[in-house]
Each structure stands twice: as structure tokens, then as C-alpha cells.
Amino acid sequence: MGLKLWMIFEAVAASEEAVKGSLEEHLEKLSNEPEAEIQEETLEEIEKVENPHESLEEGYSQVAEVVVEASSFEEAIALVINYGPTYIQLEEPDYYELSLKEGQETLQDVADIMRRYAEMGVGGMLVSKTDNAQK
């Protein structure tokens, strides 16, 4: 048995046209993941919203709720990193044993993604912690 994940995705844009179809495409890509299986999927109607974020006074939003079974913890982390849900909840199992190998591979995957973000100029690397850094 894998891990059952409940995920919420939200698409927000200034125009309804920009939102239309974006979540369907996103979920289609997710459904093609070989190590994940969508068990449930609900796509809400597009709604006009006020102040969806600070740089947008008015916009359009659509929300999708998805239940996915991931084959492993490593795959669950990859799904979160690659598909960026707004919210995620691990629903099953109540207990999951992680081998040292699986833990190492998962941490290395996260490190690789962070390095790629830094190379693209989207993120950075923490070189040293200052006394003022938050814990």
C-alpha cells in the first residue's frame, strides 16, 4: 500500500480565460504519473474573487480537490515539489516506516530540486546561519 494524499490546487489569474483549462491540464499531467494514481477528483467552477493576492484587486479562481495514492514517500515528495498543491494532507497510512535508503533518496531529491532552483535564480543556497535567522 502506498500513501494516500488529499491535495487542493488553486489557479488564480486576472482573467477568466487565463484560469480556464489550466487546472484540467495540470491534473491531466498528474494522472499520467506512473507512480501515482488519482482516486478522486473534484473541479469547482471558476469564480470571480476580490483581492486574490496583494498585487491583484480582482481576479478569477478555480479550485480542484484531488485524492492521490503515491507509491512511496519519495514519490509523495516528488508530487508536492512538481505539482505545487496549495494544501496537502497525508491521510493514510496511520504509520509509515521509512527505510534509510528511501529517506536518503528523498532528501537527495529535495536537495537536487533546491539546487536547480538556485541555478535558475529562483532560490538560493544557505551558506551560513546568522544569529538573527529564524528557527
Does the global pTM surpass 0.85? no
Phi, psi (rounded to 5 degrees) for 116? -65, -40
Boundaries of every domain in the chain: 3-96
Nearest by Cα to 33 from 79, 81, 91, 86 = 79
Q: Which residues contact 32 (CB under 8 A, 6 or more apart)?
A: none
Residue 30 has a pLDDT of 95
Task: Tell me if the domain spanning 3-96 has CATH number 2.40.10.
Answer: no
Residue 132 has a pLDDT of 55
Residue 106 has a pLDDT of 87
Residue 90 has a pLDDT of 94
Mean pLDDT per block of 10 residues along the chain (135 residues) reads 92 90 93 95 94 84 96 91 92 91 90 81 54 52
